A = this chain, B = another copy of it.
Amino acid sequence: MATPKPKPKAPRRRLSADERERLIARGAVAYFCEVGFGGQTRELARRLGITQPLLYRYFPNKEALIDRVYQEVYLNRWDPRWEELLDDHARPARERIIAFYRDYAKAVLSYEWIRIFMFSGLRGMNLNNRYLTLVRDRIYTRVIRELRLEHGLPTPAQLPISEMEFELVWGLHASIFYLGIRKWIYGLEIPENVEALIEGLTTAFLDGVPAVMTRMAKKPRRRS
């Protein structure tokens, strides 16, 4: 090439502080999701089309930026209607549970959510645990309660939920979450029709788990 082209150099654009901060936060989510929290501030700035020191005008340091990423991803991902949905006794339990997982999957099986969740887990954050406790207390308990009700087993008030029952529900949860891992962490293809898939997994769960639950409710727990 004859033209050395000194620099493309986009014209300096001046945004309001709020707007720029949001832009940086969004960009940080996208960037750190992709490369992990070891990603460099210079590369993040480059992707945002700004200079690296500008980041430090909006965030005191890199850690603050990462905290913001957590906030962006973790907050506002919980839909309170999930609990209502699971409580709605007008519909059959089976239908409710399938509907819930269909909806839950839509919220959670995203690139950002799955990867941030993994990265923060590997980093030793306890945000994961806080979230998973929420899932356990708000969702698993409801699923188990409804299953017990449907199969004429004692209510959780009468007989506390056993470890095994929690584990079985966690197994369903895992099989759905793992779809996200396969897609967004391993980079594998998963079936196009995720809804049908979740319906199949949940159906298999609903067909298989009550038998185990019933068996465990009758037999005393065997110690290893």
- List B contacts of A207 (CB < 8 A): 207-209, 211-212
With CB as the reference atom, state the residue of chain B lying closest to A164: B200
In the assembled complex, how far is the CB of residue A218 from the closest CB belonging to chain B, in whole angstroms?
14
Prevailing SS type, chain A contact patch: helix
Work out how many copies of this chain go into the complex: 2
User: A163-195, CB under 8 A of B: which get 1 and which 0?
Assistant: 110011011111101110110011110011101
Count, chain A residues at interface, CB 8 A = 52
- List B contacts of A141 (CB < 8 A): none
Kindly state whether residue A16 has any CB partner on chain B within 8 Å: no
- List B contacts of A174 (CB < 8 A): 174-175, 177-179, 181
Q: Which residues of A contact B (CB under 8 A)?
A: 36, 38, 115, 118-119, 121-122, 124, 126, 128-129, 132, 163-164, 167-168, 170-175, 177-179, 181-182, 185-188, 191-193, 195-197, 200-201, 203-209, 211-212, 216, 222-224
Given A129-B186, A193-B224, A206-B208, 5 other A-B contacts at CB below 8 A? A122-B185, A129-B187, A171-B175, A193-B223, A204-B209
